Amino acid sequence: MKKLFGIFCVFVATMVLGGCNPSSTNPDDQPTPFEGGVYVLCEGSFGSGNASLWHYNPDTKAVTPDVFGRVNNAMLGDVGQSMYLYNNTLFVVVNNSGVVYALDANTGEVLGLIDGLTSPRFVAIDGSGAKGYISQMYTNKLITFDPRTLAKTGEVILDGVVSSEQMAIVGDKLFVASWSNDHKITVLNTTTDKQLTTFTVGVQPYSLALDKRNNLWVVCDGGNAWSSLPEGVEVEDPSLWKINTENYKAEKVHTFASGSYFRSRLAMNGGGDTLYFISDAVWAVDVATGNFPSEPLLSVEGYGQYGLDVNPYNGDLYIADAKDYVSNGAVLRYDSTGKLLDEFEVGLLPSKFIFLAK
């Protein structure tokens, strides 16, 4: 009875947040386990409640549209922000709806949700699997939760910063970027949730990635004319930082040309030795040297490239192309040398990927 009541609450919350979606609802659709492949999260347009979750199987070339709608008979919600895979649970953050869904990663079926959030952005779960964190854009409070029950367990106030964004965990340390109108990384002890330190990087640390030696890579967008930065902090050129997670010192800093724009977050390959991102082109950085290459891995056309990630199992690159930002987007798959393998259509504003093991 408790399970049925919980699922009923999920659907009521979903319809309130995102509205009903008859075009994606088929009572004959039953959850069918996916064998590997990749989930693609499409943000949808802000305020329209049309975020969507798609699945692609590169072996069969099969595309499954609107997995969430087909399986759960409800819309995903307003702005699909990010995804996080832990064991067999796929956490999907829907930012403007203020909710994080927990899905069965094999089928897309809703297991539960965390709602009542201010502006959720990313999820991270500690090594024990007993504690999860949700960052929020418009507040310096992290939400803690139990990944096993999805119950909220508390809040952690981050001193000295104004917001929280992408997170990374190294051992018992949680690194939290403060992106919006800030220039700092906060470090927490995941056992006690005590703040260990806060250190300065470039303006507006936008994305984080860990390499095989647990160095933290940080890309900072530099801010813009609309940024409300702290007193004494000014807009600057974008930069890429390599941080030692033991002493929090910068071991490498690369400054990009003025006007450079990051169209994707950082992505690390499965071996943790090559860092990828899109900035006017697709770049691959050897993390051992940290030297920025003189030539990109591949060129991109237009301005729709909105996301990038790497399949950790075979090194294939997936690039999300938002096209004109008002119609359905596409995903292009390349091998690690930059050779185009295939392309398939997805929903509006694709941006994030999660890869499943076979």
The DSSP annotation for 234-258 comes to: -----EEEEE-TTT--EEEEEEPPT
Contact 223, 206 (CB under 8 A): no
Three-state secondary structure call for residue 120: strand
Is residue 28 in a domain? Answer: no
Here the CATH number for the domain that contains residue 188 is: 2.130.10.10
Is residue 251 in a domain? Answer: yes
Q: Residues of the chain with pLDDT > 90: what percent?
A: 75
The predicted structure's pLDDT at residue 29: 52
How many domains does the structure of the chain reveal? 1
- In sequence order, the β-bridge partners of residue 334 are 317, 340
Question: Which among 16, 60, 54, 21 is positioned nearest to 38, based on CA atoms?
Answer: 54
Q: What is the pLDDT of residues 80-109, one digit of tens each?
A: 999 999 999 999 999 999 999 999 999 999
Torsion of CA 58, 62, 67, 69, to 10 degrees: 160
Is residue 235 in a domain? Answer: yes
Token couple for 133: 């964190």
For 27, half-sphere exposure in the C-beta direction (CA atoms, 13 angstrom radius) is 0
Residue 185 and residue 311: Cα distance in Å, rounded?
27
DSSP state of 22: G
The pTM assigned to this predicted structure is 0.90
Residue 166 and residue 219: Cα distance in Å, rounded?
11
For the segment 39-47, the average pLDDT, to the nearest whole number, is: 95
- In sequence order, the β-bridge partners of residue 62 are 57
Instruction: Give the lowest-confidence range in 12-21, 54-63, 210-219.
Output: 12-21
Instruction: State yes or no: pLDDT of 336 exceeds 60.
Output: yes
Contact 292, 277 (CB under 8 A): no
Is residue 156 in a domain? Answer: yes
Number of C-beta neighbours around residue 135 at 10 A? 27
Is residue 15 in a domain? Answer: no
Is residue 314 in a domain? Answer: no
Domain span at residue 163? 117-262
Residue 39 and residue 108: Cα distance in Å, rounded?
10
Q: What is the pLDDT of residues 230-247, one digit of tens each?
A: 888 888 999 999 999 999
Is residue 69 in a domain? Answer: no
Is residue 36 in a domain? Answer: no
Question: Which among 310, 321, 325, 316 is positioned nearest to 345, based on CA atoms?
Answer: 321
Instruction: State yes or no: pLDDT of 164 exceeds 60.
Output: yes
